[in-house]
Structure 1
Amino acid sequence: MLETLRKIVQEVSAAPDLDTVLDLIVRRIQRAMRTQMCSVYLFDAKKQRYTLMATQGLNKESVRMVSLSPSEGIVGLVGARAEPINLEDAASHPAFIYLQGTGEERFHSFLGVPIIHQRDVLGVLVVQQKERRRFDENEEAFLVTVSAQLAGVIAHAEATGSIHAISGNHERVAESRFEGVPAASGVAIGTGVVKAPPADLNAVPDRVATDIDAEIAQFNRALAAVRRDIRVVGRSLAKRLRHEEQELFDVYLRMLDDNALAGEVVERIRRGSWAQGALRDVVKAHVREFNAMDDPYLRERATDIRDLGRRVLAYMQEASPSQIEYPDSTILVADELTPAMLGEVPTDKLAGLVSVHGAGNSHAAILARSMGIPTVMGVVDLPYTQLDGRTLILDGYSGRVFVNPSDEVATAYEEIVREDREVAAGLEQLRDKPAETTDGFRMPLWVNTGLIADVERSLERGAEGIGLYRTEIPFMVKDFFPSEQEQTQTYREQLEAFAPRPVTMRTLDIGGDKALPYFPISEENPFLGWRGIRVTLDHPEIFLVQVRAMLRAAEGLDNLRIMLPMVTSVHEVDEANRMIDRAVRELREEGLITDRPPVGVMVEVPAAVYQVRRFARRVDFISVGSNDLTQYLLAVDRNNPRVAGLYAPYHPSVLRALEYIAKEAHKESVPVSICGEMAADPGGAILLMAMGYDVLSMNATNLPKVKSAIRGISYARAGELLDRIHRMDDAEDIHMLLRNTLQELGLGQLTRPVIPD
């Protein structure tokens, strides 16, 4: 059964569209279970009906013609209960409804299981037989397992199938919505431009050929180059291979004949596809055919087809490097965004970023936030290769991406864009004013940075210091560890630009989802693995060089603060302190006039929460990384779109931990700051101020909003708000109270806009 399931999932995963997926499902399940009928009903959310979408055993003319409401029939009952129903005689069940014209009157036994994806019932999978009998436990277990395995594939196929290729007359197609992880706030409305990695057939975007003859010529040149390569390799290995092994190269050449792959590609080009897209479609079709074969030797030929396709594609891309014309309001779309991709788009045309994979704190996401570019990551079901030239709306507040948006949705988001611009323009006047409450309480606002470009943006918005400088970013953009001199120069630019304001430099924080290409860390669970201070203490040569570079960069400025990430024990703090002291001594011996800078720790894991006072006796300041702390407290990876909805910064346990940290630090008379995303939210900033945090640090884009919120409330009112929240036990209710409070204060424009579902 496992082998049968593997083959079904493999075939279905490679299917090009939803209809093919469903047809494969019913045929393969009917054969595997030896039933006389297998059907799939999918739920249409707009029509609120279960529609027969594919069948093997019922009348084929009933497909798409027969449907049931959620309250009708046994199919509706399976969906409503979200559990299997196994009947000896379906017709005798009270919920049974006869579907005329389907031919179902021949069947008696019934087994239906729901198809569920992320709590949503997508449809119902049904098998039936003529004889009266209950399907046994093994059969029911198999169908439930198949349904669970196929749910994600069907969801993805539904999403892909909802974006149809633009027809010749550019007819309007239906709106589609996809969910991801918000990585940089804001809204972007623009045109999709797909960036594909080289020689990756799966990443080739859909495009229409503008010059068919030129596309065919380009393909033929690439084909000739690959044929030449195969002949050269075959001749060079001739003396080492047996005759039958040499014949493999002849097989490759025959695959590229005009009567095989080449002819099919040219035919697709003549039908209007550009050469790379035609090659992709032909190769994938042949791979599907070989993968479906029972013979292991023939199945392996799928690998050969893929290899040949990549070789031809590489030559096409090399001969015709992509000269993309970026439209105004470009929304860059990729399977996985990289910083280099951002640099290829003129900054005046880049409106937004969408990535199928990637994390909210990836290098690209950090860069996007610092540049103020709305970004959504982890849109796993997005058929991104079909989005080139499409009208897109990107909601960086909620993590939604709309393709072919309706007029109503477009109008709503255009209003949000207009309001965001008005708010930004109105907040510019606050640049040189303090973040001071209406009753005179002063709240220092600092920024999080990682690039020198962040500095100018931060100063323009009135930042009073840097609460987090991510030193790993200069490490990420190189092919090797930067030298002490290179690091000194980089750090000096940050320190000089902000002097005399304080600059808090976090020591190298790699691991988790932040890997260096030249220092790979491969772990099954990287977020609970070798990361942060654990890495640098295990590599004192890296730690000492970095600390020395920081100290040298701060000479004569005296605005450096050093912060240790991912600390879990006092032993780590003591060891790091000893190494910092050593670096200070060494530099003094070398003639550098330097004082030991303030040293602090980041509280990011639950273990650190309950050692704050112990840490405070050993350091000069405490800083909370609320992003990591929240995900560790809630056991939720905020970069995983499947559970991102469970990531709740205003969860009562998170708020209680944050308040506890502030109180414990102050018991030792040590200042405490926070540099997570909660500090960048106007409502969150008010709460943190009431908890007693001494400094709030955030991205530069949100600083004016936070300043406006603090200037619009009294410290006493903030304390009353915190008291009310102490009595609440639901994160969403707390978030709504914060929104409503800002509305009452006349600060509703600072809250995240909400677009109704």
Structure 2
Amino acid sequence: MAQEYKGKPVFKGIALGPVTVLKKQDVQVKREKAGDPESEIKKVEEAVETSKEQLQHLYEKALSEVGEASAAIFEVHQMMLEDEDYQDAIRNMIRTERVSASYAVAVTGDNFAEMFAAMDDDYMQARAADVKDISNRLVENLNGNSIGMEAGEEASIIVADDLTPSETVQLDKEKILGFVTVHGSSNSHTAILARMMNIPAMIGTEMDLDKLENGMTAVLDAFAGTFITEPTEEQCVAAKEKMQEEEEKEALLQKYKGKETCTKNGKKVHLYANIGNVGDIPSVLENDAEGVGLFRSEFLYLGREDFPTEEEQFRAYRQVLQTMAGKKVIIRTLDIGADKQVDYFGLGEEENPAMGYRAIRICLKQPEIFKTQLRALLRAAVYGNLSVMYPMITSEEEVAKIQKIVKEVENELTKKGVPYQIPEQGIMIETPAAVMVSDELAQMVDFFSIGTNDLTQYTMAIDRQNAKLDDFYNAHHKAIIRMIRMVTENAHKHGKWVGICGELGADLELTDTFMEIGVDELSVAPSMVLKLRKQICEYEGYMLD
């Protein structure tokens, strides 16, 4: 008998097929005495190395499938494995209580997870799930168990209580028709991965997993926000018709390859792609983006034990510029901090990292790090159409300091006789402060790029990673739209262009609004380029000059 469940779509699409129910088994470890504590500690050290290798493999798999930005979580897990406090607690328990390695790891994982969960800060609360995840991985490796959740041989709709990023990436993409979870946040790593993988996905679906069986037929309609088990013949026919319509729409989108992104009333809009590293360039070209609107340079700094050298950065920037062959490439300077922690920066823990020591604040406080990146960027600018943008700006004073440092770098390169070019320079508008002084800021820079993810978070005082706040998080809030309008008007008043590089840029419900406002450029995930081009080309409403 057909049973319908309602949920919240995080990536729209439709799927019809068998169900695979993934039920997590809590790692149960009995308290066992250990004869030789040092031998048990040695086992932990070996399990840590095995776990790090597994996480590196997951990182590489995610890198090839969903890009650098989404793969970074596995580098975070590797760093957490190496945390001295975590490892010391395990060793101390083994030595003082003379217990087995598995028991010490399990208890330490529970203790650390409880400690993080009890903190007031939402970011630190989210680390509870991470430390639990790495502890379970260690225990499984210590016990010689296989790790991962297999989806079976047949392509299916994955159903689970929730999925961690590692579980999502381990599943064979070719065998996933879609996924449905009972819990999860629309802004979680897993939801973002689903969007990057173009897999229909739904969260917050109230259902009893014990009542579902592997192999039963289901329809996942992430347009309507419904999940139907044992659908009727009529429901199956309707689903197939919808799937056929989607396939036809996808085929039609291919006709927009090579077409200019221009509204019916003649307004040209630049349509670029967001990427995390050079390896994402093929996807940019395949989806016919006109350029790169956001290259996240901080991922050159992740997964390392020391700062990348000027030469390493120069080669990476030069490669992306050469590969894009004259198309615009906008590189964002270092945006470390908040959810992107790197041990060798020595940033320390903060109660509220999203509003803490991050991005341009690090660059201005530690100018030698900033200068190294700027030298690499100015040198690379010789090889293509480079623009540079600076994140987390709040004031004219910050821009003035940046310009002073850029001038110092320019003088250094001139003195050494090193070829360089001064690229177009802009700032990211992602704080309410920058919005309110955008009239003045527009007179100091070449362009604005609006980072709607942080702008929404800061404007609404809502941590977008906190699932408890999903009902309050409204990216369409009229305050956000008014801010985008204000920024655009102030930029145009001074002859400067405005782009949007946050996830809101790919929100098709707002495309016409952005056209009406007069936004000049949109930068989105490569998979969204053709969908967005189609909608822009069909727009014929009022357009600001």
1:383–1:631 Cα change, 3 Å: farther
Q: Which moves more between the two structures, 381-390 or 511-520?
A: 381-390
Contact 1:605/1:628 (CA < 8 Å) preserved in 2? yes
* Superposed displacement of residue 502, structure 1: 0.6
For 2:35, the equivalent position in structure 1 comes to 231
Show the 5 A alignment for 1:444-593: 444-478=270-304, 480-516=306-342, 522-557=349-384, 559-593=385-419
What letter matches 2:339 in structure 1? D
CA deviations over 1:103-128 (Å, ceiling 9, x no partner)? xxxxxxxxxxxxxxxxxxxxxxxxxx
The answer as to whether partners of 1:507 and 1:562 remain within 8 angstroms in 2 is: yes
Distance 1:517 1:189, change over 3 A: farther
**What amino acid is the match of 1:527?**
A
Aligned residue runs from structure 1 range 739-750, under 5 A: none
Equivalent residue, structure 1, for 2:124: none
SS at match of 1:348: helix
Aligned mates of 1:236, 1:683 — CA distance in 2: 57
Aligned residue for 1:147?
A: none
Q: Classify 1:638/1:319 alpha carbon distance in 2 versus 1 (closer, same or farther; 3 Å).
A: closer
1:697 aligns with 2:523: yes
Q: Tell me, what secondary structure is at the counterpart of 1:584? A: helix
Q: Which amino acid aligns with 1:564?
A: Y
- Displacement of 1:431 after TM fit? 0.6
Separation in 2 of the partners of 1:518 and 1:390? 48
User: How many angstroms does 1:514 deviate by?
Assistant: 3.4
Pair 548,415 (structure 1): closer, same or farther in 2 beyond 3 Å: farther
Choose from 652, 655, 668 the match for 2:494: 668
Quick one: distance in 1 between partners of 2:40 and 2:279?
52
Partner in structure 1 of residue 514 of structure 2: 688
Q: What CA distance in whole angstroms lies between the structure 1 residues aligned with 2:537 and 2:247?
A: 20
Tell me the C-alpha RMSD between the 2 structures.
4.4
Decide whether the 8 Å contact of 2:291 with 2:329 is kept in 1: yes
Amino acid at match of 2:26: N
CA gap of 1:577–1:176, structure 2 versus 1, over 3 A, is same
The separation in 2 between residues aligned to 1:705 and 1:561, in whole angstroms, is 25
1:337 and 2:177 correspond:
no
1:248 CA displacement:
6.9
Cα drift, residue 686 of structure 1: 1.9
Q: 1:518 to 1:703 in 2, by over 3 A?
A: same
Q: Which residue of 2 aligns with 1:139?
A: none
Aligned partner of 2:457 in structure 1 is 631
CA contact (8 A) 1:203 1:385 kept: no
Structure 2: which amino acid aligns with 1:501?
K
TM-score by length of 2: 0.70
Alpha-carbon contact 1:470-1:506 (below 8 Å) kept: yes
**1:447 alignment partner, SS class:** strand
Counterpart CA distance in 1 for 2:39 and 2:528 is 64
Structure 2: unaligned runs, 5 residues or longer: 42-93, 111-131
Q: Distance in 2 between matches of 1:388 and 1:591?
A: 70
Choose 1 or 2 for highest CA Rg: 1
**Distance between the aligned counterparts of 1:499 and 1:461, measured in 2?**
16
Contact 1:431 1:460 (C-alpha < 8 Å) held by counterparts: no
Q: Structure 1 residue 381: deviation in Å?
A: 8.1
For the 8 Å contact 2:380–2:420, the answer to whether it is kept is: no
If asked which structure has higher relative contact order (CA below 8 Å, sep 6+), I would say: 2
Rounded Cα–Cα distance in structure 1 between residues aligned with 2:416 and 2:210 = 57
Residues 185, 470 of structure 2: 8 Å contact kept: no
1:642 aligns with 2:468: yes
Distance in structure 2 (CA, Å) of the matches to 1:590 and 1:605 = 38
Q: TM-score, normalised by structure 1?
A: 0.52
Write the distance in 2 (CA, Å) between the matches of 1:246 and 1:365.
41
Return the letter of the residue paired with 1:524.
E
The number of aligned residues is 457
Q: 1:620 to 1:428 in 2, by over 3 A?
A: same
Kindly tell me: are residues 316 and 637 of structure 1, through their superposed partners in 2, closer, same or farther at Cα, counting changes over 3 Å? closer
Counterparts in 2 of 1:368 and 1:175: CA distance versus 1, 3 Å:
closer
Judge conservation of contact 2:194–2:201 (CA < 8 Å) in 1: yes
1:319–1:631 Cα change, 3 Å: closer
> What is aligned with 2:72?
none
Q: Secondary structure at the match of 1:706?
A: helix
Cα distance change of structure 1 residues 509 and 373 upon mapping to structure 2, 3 Å threshold: farther
Kept after mapping to 1: 8 A contact 2:149/2:171: no
| CA separation of 1:323 and 1:694: change in aligned 2, threshold 3 A | closer
Q: Deviations over 1:226-281 (max 9, x none)?
A: 96x712239999xxxxxxx99976xx79xx9xxxxxxxxxxxxxxxxxxxxxx99x
Tell whether the 8 Å contact from 2:21 to 2:214 is kept in structure 1 after alignment: yes
* % identity of equivalent residues: 32
Per-residue CA distance 1:354-386 (angstroms, 9 max, x = gap):
785577274x65555444344557x59888899
The CA deviation at 1:555 is: 2.9
Could you say if the C-alpha distance between residues 470 and 322 of structure 1 is closer, same or farther in structure 2, counting changes exceeding 3 Å?
closer
- The Cα offsets for residues 183-238 of structure 1, whole Å up to 9 and x where unpaired, read as x4444556447597xxxx6368xxxxxxxxxxxxxxxxx99xx96x712239999x
1:318 aligns with 2:122: no
**Structure 2: distance between partners of 1:577 and 1:405:** 63
Distance in 2 (alpha carbons) for counterparts of 1:384 and 1:529: 40
Summarize the alignment of residues 101-116 of structure 1 with structure 2, pairs less than 5 Å apart. Answer: none
Structure 1 residue ranges without an equivalent (≥5): 1-171, 205-221, 238-244, 257-278, 285-305, 723-757
- Mapped to 2, the partners of 1:353 and 1:542 lie a distance apart of 42
Residue 707 of structure 1: aligned partner: 533
1:611: Cα distance to partner?
0.9
Matches within 5 A, 1:18-37: none
The offset of 1:638, in angstroms, is 3.4
1:202 aligned onto 2:6: no
Q: Does structure 1 conserve the Cα–Cα contact (< 8 Å) formed by 2:322 and 2:383?
A: no
Residue 259 of structure 2 corresponds to which residue in structure 1?
433
Paired residues for 1:87-486 under 5 Å: 176-179=5-8, 182=10, 184-187=11-14, 191-192=19-20, 194=22, 202=26, 230-233=34-37, 313-314=139-140, 317-318=143-144, 320=146, 324=150, 326-329=152-155, 337-338=164-165, 344-352=170-178, 360=187, 362=189, 368-375=194-201, 389=214, 402=227, 404=229, 406-407=231-232, 414-478=240-304, 480-486=306-312
Report the counterpart of residue 91 of structure 2 in structure 1: none
Counterpart amino acid of 1:445?
L
Query: Do the aligned partners of residues 432 and 635 (structure 1) sit closer, same or farther apart at CA in structure 2, a change above 3 Å counting?
Result: same
CA distance in 2, matches of 1:540, 1:395: 51
Q: Deviations over 1:373-401 (max 9, x none)?
A: 44557x59888899895767666668x68
The answer as to whether partners of 2:15 and 2:200 remain within 8 angstroms in 1 is: yes
1:708 offset after TM fit, Å? 1.4
- Of residues 484, 498, 513, the one that matches 1:658 is 484
Q: Which residue of 1 aligns with 2:70?
A: none
The aligned amino acid for 1:556 is Y
User: 1:447 offset after TM fit, Å?
Assistant: 1.6
The Cα of 1:315 is off from its aligned counterpart by 5.8
